Amino acid sequence: MGRTTTDTKQKLIDTALELIWKSSYGSVSVDDICKAADVKKGSFYHFFPSKVDLAIAAMEESYKSLKPLYENFSPESAPVKRFERL
């Protein structure tokens, strides 16, 4: 049974994050991402018009997952509280 649409899109996002983190945006190609994700290039373009769009989706997802951590250091909290949360 094949991957679902959501699984494929998520796999591309996860793979892009991993590859870009290990190398850099400029050194990772769409082919690299597709190969590492085991996704056909046509599927890539079904979900993302370009590598830029995939990178934006990956950054947004990364931000969402880290947002609760960042909120622990909000300037609205007392400095001592922020240090305790660390």
| pLDDT tens digits along 17-75 | 999 999 999 999 999 999 999 999 999 999 999 999 999 999 999 999 888 877 777 77
> Which CATH code for domain 5-85?
1.10.357.10
Residue 43 is predicted with a pLDDT of 95
Structure tokens at 34: 């597709």
- Enclosing H/E stretch for 17: helix 5-22
Q: Please state the domain extents for the chain.
A: 5-85
pLDDT, residue 27, reads 96
Q: CB neighbours (10 Å) of residue 23?
A: 11
pLDDT of amino acid 56? 97
Measured in residues, the chain has a length of 86
- Residue 86 CB contacts under 8 Å (≥ 6 apart), including other chains: 72, 73
pTM for the structure as a whole? 0.77
